[in-house]
Structures are given as C-alpha cells and as structure tokens.
C-alpha cells in the first residue's frame, strides 16, 4: 500500500471489528534555430490580459474545519504520528506487513500522508476524486483488497486520537470517520472497475538503456501485453532489486506502433529505484509497471495554443504531448520553455530542436538558471513572453518549479482550469 509522490513521500482504536470503516461492496460505474541559453524577451504586448482577481474561497464545511484543526495539531509531531500509525497497523494486523517494503525507511509517511492530504481537502471533490481513483487503481499492484481498508482506517483513527489530544472529541472523530469512509469507498470502486479491464501490473523487459549523462538515462521497455496510455500520463515502476518499492515516471513519447515505452530517469541521492534504473538496469532485465495515470493530456476538442513548461526530466512528458499534437495533424501553436539549472541538464535539447525543425508550429526556448550573470528563472522567462490568454498550460518538473510556474501563469492571466499538471498538492492549491 503506497501513495504517489512527485520527484523525484503511534491506542484508541474504535470499530475493532470493522465497524465504522467497513466499506460497502464496490459500486458499479455509471470515464530550427540554435537555442540561446536564455531567451531574449521581446517587449510584452500591451494587449495582454490583465490578471483576474482570485475568486473568494468558499467557507470550509464543518467536517473540513474539524479535520484541519486536527492537522494543525499533529503537524509538528508528524513523525511520531506516522510511527504510531504503522505500529498499530502491523501489531493488530501483522499479515499486512508483507505488503510493504522490507525497509520502511523508503516508505515512511507515504500512505499516511496520502490519507491525511485527502482528508484535509475533503471539500475539493473535483480534484480529490480523480486523485483517489488513481490511488485505488494503483493499490491493486500491492495486492490490496476491499477488506484491507478497515484495518488502515482503524490505525489512522487510533494514531490521530492518541496525539491530537487538544482537538479530539466525539464530533472530531465522527468527521474523520466520514472522511475516511468517503476516501476508501472511492478507492475501492475505482479498483473494482479497473479489475474488469486491466491486470494489476505488467511485466516489461528492458530493451534499450541510453546513458545521456552520468546521472540521466533513457530506459526503453517492452511490456508483456498491450499497455494502453495517453501522451502526458505517467506510471509506477518497480525494479527486481528493490521489491515492493515503486516510483513514478512519465512516458517520454506518445503511444508507439511497436508498443515500446520510454522513460527519462535521473538518479537522485538515496534514490533506490532511480539509481537502479540509471546505473544498474540493462537490456534483458525485467521491470514491473503499474497502471497508467494522470490528467496532463492534450485536449483535442480545442484549438487553443499550448504553453508547456518542462524542468529537468520533466521535459519527457512535454515531448510526448508534442508528438501527440503532431500525430493528430493539428497546427496549433505550441510554445515550450525547457528549464534547467545548467547546460549539462539540457540533456534532451537536440531531440527538442529536431522536433522544432520538423514542425513550424513549435517553438522551443531553453532557459538556464545561471548564477554568474543576470538571474533568469523559468517563471520569469514565461512572464516576459506572451500574451497567453489563448493558451492552455502544461507543467512538468520538480514540485518547486510547478509551484512557481502556477504563480507565473495565474499572474499572466491564464485561469486555473486551463493549467494542467499532476502533482496533487499543487492541484489543490491551484484549484483554490
């Protein structure tokens, strides 16, 4: 049992026999110029759309207020809450321990953080349901079934009641019960629907390993059976060297006729999966793939331009989006800002420039954050170009880049509903 993260994520048991947290049965569904290191910005046009004032936030529901009060209390002691949560789960339900990685250091707060984040934003149904459906489908690869959810709910309630002593009472407990019941039911229903059409995982053989830099590799695999996905989506990968440890990577191309899948992987410090894929994986090795997920896909019903911000290996799904537009025969303008901390990090710039040469509607603008001269960052460069009022925006990269990029895009007049990315916490912030 795990929860998605972007890269690169303990007494008081109530309802011992399932009780409040016993889920219902699954519900049936009713769905070419050389690039400059930094762009030379033209004078912004005077016709740019003025930023719209943010809409007033609706008042949180009573349950949300109670949940947020609990979150504020446990925030400073999150590590203790996490440890107690897992202690309760494994002591009372030891058979669940085998579903987690052998070393919990790589797992830590991922499951609990996902549940707490979902509960805290229980009012944000539009974003939350999409996130939970993905979470439910993804949990199939761990062997998670509907009967496991009550145990997790009981451990959650026990950990919170043990540490949130100032804010915890019968009313608060009831709010958390309702929130978790909603969360678990959405996940269960999504898993049941997915089971009717997809396996819980796919085996995939590594067929190519292209070492682009000392710490970045392009890994290409061949799934053992058809793997349907959309350009801009991502999946989870497990290597044979670290069983039950999964990490998320975006597809680096649109679906191909040969069925091959490619991923851009950067080895990060202490990154078990990323280092294995970059430094250890070779052709002939077998990986496991989880189901595809993500909503950062092209809307082919509109003729709006596309403004794409890709940072580091976040350029991989941007490249896939460009291929998708080209395959549909569209000629909408696509503006790509390729952000990097150094020239070395522009590892895929040649590919992007070849795409620009092939498609006159595509413009690629590398933006290197140089400290030895005028400090230009990706959001600054985006603000200098425009206007963007006729564009949909797509962001992929580190969480900090996504946060700053959202601020820049909102400031440039792009409404939040036309800004696409797949970091849940950032989606919540943008929706607000």
Instruction: Check pLDDT > 60 for residue 31.
Output: no
- pLDDT digits over 8-28, tens only? 322 222 223 333 344 444 544
- Give percent above pLDDT 90 in the chain: 55
Which token pair is 216?
């970045």
| Residue 293 per-residue DSSP state | B
The pLDDT-based confidence of 290 (bands split at 50, 70, 90) is very high
Q: State the pLDDT at residue 45.
A: 35
Distant-in-sequence, close-in-space partners of 387: CB < 8 Å, separation ≥ 6: 44, 45, 47, 48, 49, 412, 413
pLDDT reading at 33 higher than 90: no
- Confidence check: pLDDT of 414 > 50: yes
pTM over 0.85: no
**What is the distance, to the nearest Å, from the Cα of residue 366 to the centroid of all Cα atoms in its chain?**
24
pLDDT at 293: 87
Q: What is the pLDDT of residue 130?
A: 84
Burial 363-395 (b: 16+ CB within 10 A, else e): bbbbbbbeeeeeebbbbbbbbebbebbebbbbb
Helices (H), 196-314: 272-279
The answer to whether 278 touches 217, Cβ cutoff 8 Å, is yes
Residue 142: pLDDT band by 50, 70, 90 thresholds? confident
pLDDT > 90? residue 229: yes
DSSP 18-47: SGGG-PPPPPPP----PPPSS--PPPPPTT
In three-state form (DSSP H/G/I as H, E/B as E, the rest C), the secondary structure along 214-234 is CCEEEEEEEECCCCCCCCCCE
Q: What is the mean pLDDT of residues 110-125?
A: 83
pLDDT of residue 424: 52
Q: What ranges in 56-203 are assigned the alpha helix state H?
A: 62-74, 78-92, 110-120, 125-138, 149-163, 170-195
Partnered with residue 364 across adjacent β-strands are 336
* Per-residue pLDDT band at 389 (split at 50, 70, 90): confident
Mind listing the pLDDT tens digit for each residue in 56-103?
A: 667 889 999 999 999 999 999 988 999 999 999 999 999 998 888 766
Residue 248 bridge partners (DSSP): 236
Per-residue pLDDT, 376: 54
């Amino acid at each position: 049992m795990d929860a998605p993260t972007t890269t690169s994520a303990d007494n008081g048991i109530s309802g011992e026999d399932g009780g409040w947290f016993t889920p219902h049965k699954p519900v049936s569904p009713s769905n070419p110029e050389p690039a400059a290191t930094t762009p030379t910005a033209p004078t912004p046009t005077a016709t740019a759309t003025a930023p719209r004032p943010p809409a007033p936030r609706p008042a949180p529901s009573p349950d949300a207020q109670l949940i947020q009060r609990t979150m504020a209390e446990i925030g400073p002691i999150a590590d203790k809450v996490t440890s107690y949560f897992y202690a309760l789960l494994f002591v009372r339900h030891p058979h669940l321990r085998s579903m987690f990685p052998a070393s919990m250091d790589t797992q830590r707060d991922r499951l609990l953080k996902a549940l707490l984040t979902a509960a805290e934003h229980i009012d944000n149904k539009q974003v939350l349901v999409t996130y939970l459906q993905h979470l439910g489908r993804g949990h199939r690869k761990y062997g998670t079934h509907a009967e496991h959810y009550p145990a997790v709910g009981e451990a959650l309630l026990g950990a919170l009641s043990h540490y949130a002593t100032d804010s915890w009472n019968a009313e608060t407990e009831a709010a958390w019960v309702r929130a978790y019941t909603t969360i678990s039911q959405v996940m269960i229903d999504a898993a049941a629907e997915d089971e009717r059409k997809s396996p819980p995982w796919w085996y995939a053989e590594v067929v190519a390993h292209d070492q682009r830099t000392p710490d970045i590799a392009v890994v290409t695999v061949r799934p053992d059976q058809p793997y349907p996905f959309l350009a801009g989506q991502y999946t989870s990968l497990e290597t044979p060297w670290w069983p039950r440890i999964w990490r998320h990577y975006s597809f680096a191309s649109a679906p191909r006729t040969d069925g091959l899948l490619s991923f851009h992987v950067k080895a990060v410090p202490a990154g078990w999966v990323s280092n294995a894929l970059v430094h250890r994986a070779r052709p002939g090795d077998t990986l496991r793939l989880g189901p595809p997920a993500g909503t950062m896909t092209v809307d082919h019903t509109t003729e709006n331009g596309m403004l794409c911000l890709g940072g580091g290996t976040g350029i991989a799904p941007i490249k896939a989006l460009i291929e998708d537009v080209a395959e549909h025969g569209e000629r909408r303008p696509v503006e790509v800002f390729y952000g990097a901390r150094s020239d070395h990090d522009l590892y895929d710039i040649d590919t992007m420039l070849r795409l620009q040469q092939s498609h006159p509607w595509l413009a690629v603008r590398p933006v290197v954050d140089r400290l030895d001269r005028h400090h230009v960052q990706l959001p600054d460069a985006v603000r200098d170009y425009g206007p963007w009022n006729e564009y949909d925006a797509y962001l992929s990269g580190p969480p900090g880049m996504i946060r700053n990029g959202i601020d820049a895009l909102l400031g440039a007049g792009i409404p939040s509903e036309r800004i696409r990315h797949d970091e849940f916490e950032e989606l919540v912030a943008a929706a607000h």
